């Protein structure tokens, strides 16, 4: 069987909040926790600002909790900034989450 979980592969995280805490095969996953909501012209600036917010996440997930898609991206992920040691310190984790910004990455996936 060929290797289908490659770097840059878009996957769906199915379940597993605690995945990655055991010595299983795992992957470093960066994703969108909360994507921007619909904005209309009638909304005020404050409401538009609130609805435009995006929350991202970076976590280590077990392969069993990932479903690969046909999509792949070429997001340059700096492994010195995002690695396993980052997850031990909350401040470093927050900084790593901000490093994963990309224009395509912050659009809703359509299936």
Residues with Cβ < 8 Å from 52, sequence gap 6 or more? 36, 37, 39
In tens, the pLDDT along 28-39 reads 777 778 888 899
Domain extent, residue 62, equals 9-101
What is the count of structural domains for the chain?
Answer: 1
Nearest-CA neighbor of 36 among 45, 48, 44, 20? 48
- Indicate whether 109 belongs to any domain: no
Q: What is the CATH number of the domain that holds 77?
A: 2.30.30.770
- Indicate whether 71 belongs to any domain: yes
Residue-level pLDDT at 111: 46
- Indicate whether 67 belongs to any domain: yes
pTM of the model: 0.52
Average pLDDT (23-27) is: 76
* Confidence category of residue 91, pLDDT binned at 50, 70, 90: confident
- Indicate whether 82 belongs to any domain: yes
């Amino acid at each position: 069987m060929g290797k289908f979980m490659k770097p840059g592969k878009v996957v769906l995280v199915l379940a597993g909040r605690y995945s990655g805490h055991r010595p299983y095969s795992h992957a470093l996953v960066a994703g969108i926790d909360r994507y921007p909501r619909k904005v209309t012209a009638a909304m005020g600036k404050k409401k538009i600002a609130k609805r435009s917010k995006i929350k991202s996440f970076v976590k280590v997930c077990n392969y069993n909790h990932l479903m690969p898609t046909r999509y792949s991206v070429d997001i340059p992920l700096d492994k010195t900034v995002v690695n396993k040691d980052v997850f031990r310190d909350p401040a470093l984790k927050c900084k790593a989450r901000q490093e994963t910004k990309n224009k395509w990455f912050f659009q809703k996936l359509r299936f």
